[in-house]
Structure 1
Amino acid sequence: MRTYIVEDEKPALQRLQNMLTEIPEIDIIGSTASGREAIVEIDTLQPELLLLDIHLSDMSGLDVLQLITSTPAVIFTTAYNQYAVQAFELRAVDYLLKPFSRERLQEAISRVREKKTTPEALKELFAQWQPPANYLTRFASRVGDKITMFTDDEVVYFTSESKFVYACLEEHRYLLNYTLSQLETRLDPEKFFRIHRSSIVNLNYVRKIEADSSGGYTITTLGRRPANLSVSRTAGKVLRNKLGW
Structure 2
Amino acid sequence: MRTYIVEDEKPALQRLQNMLTGIPEIELIGSAANGKDAIVEIDALQPDLLLLDIHLSDMSGLDVLQLITHKPAVIFTTAYDQYAVQAFEFRAVDYLLKPFSQERLQEAISRVRGKQTAPDALKELFAQWQPPASFLTRFASRVGDKITMFTDDEVVYFTSESKFVYACLEEHRYLLNYTLSQLETRLDPEKFFRIHRSSIVNLNYVRKIEADSSGGYTITTLGRRPVNLSVSRTAGKALRNKLGW
TM range (shorter): 0.5 to 0.7
After superposing the two structures, state which structure 1 stretch, 224-233 or 121-130, moved more: 224-233
- Deviation string 1:141-176 (CA, Å, 9 cap, x unpaired) is 999999999999999999999999999999999999
* 1:123 Cα deviation after fit: 3.9
Counterparts in 2 of 1:116 and 1:29: CA distance versus 1, 3 Å: same
- Matched-pair contact (CA < 8 Å) for 1:62–1:234: no
* 1:137 Cα deviation after fit: 25
- Deviation string 1:194-220 (CA, Å, 9 cap, x unpaired) is 999999999999999999999999999
Distance, in Å, in 1 between the alignment partners of 2:11 and 2:169 is 45
- Matched-pair contact (CA < 8 Å) for 2:159–2:167: yes
- Matched-pair contact (CA < 8 Å) for 1:193–1:201: yes
* 1:117 Cα deviation after fit: 2.4
* 1:63 Cα deviation after fit: 0.1
Counterparts in 2 of 1:59 and 1:236: CA distance versus 1, 3 Å: farther
- Deviation string 1:29-75 (CA, Å, 9 cap, x unpaired) is 00010100100100010000000001111111110011101110000
Counterparts in 2 of 1:235 and 1:111: CA distance versus 1, 3 Å: farther
Counterparts in 2 of 1:62 and 1:144: CA distance versus 1, 3 Å: closer
* 1:23 Cα deviation after fit: 0.4
Counterparts in 2 of 1:210 and 1:63: CA distance versus 1, 3 Å: farther
- Matched-pair contact (CA < 8 Å) for 2:217–2:232: yes
The match for 2:166 is 166
* 1:86 Cα deviation after fit: 0.4
Q: Does 1:126 align with 2:126?
A: yes
Distance, in Å, in 1 between the alignment partners of 2:120 and 2:94 is 13
* 1:191 Cα deviation after fit: 20
Moved >3 Å (runs of 4+): 118-245
What is the percent sequence identity of the aligned residues? 91
- Matched-pair contact (CA < 8 Å) for 1:93–1:122: no
Unaligned runs of 5+ in 2: none
Q: State the secondary structure of the residue aligned to 2:171.
A: coil
Counterparts in 2 of 1:177 and 1:75: CA distance versus 1, 3 Å: closer
- Matched-pair contact (CA < 8 Å) for 1:47–1:72: yes
Q: State the secondary structure of the residue aligned to 1:39.
A: helix
* 1:189 Cα deviation after fit: 17
Equivalenced residue count is 245
- Deviation string 1:96-117 (CA, Å, 9 cap, x unpaired) is 1111000110111111111112
Instruction: Name the larger-Rg structure.
Output: 2
Unaligned runs of 5+ in 1: none
CA RMSD of superposed structures (Å): 14.9
* 1:9 Cα deviation after fit: 0.3
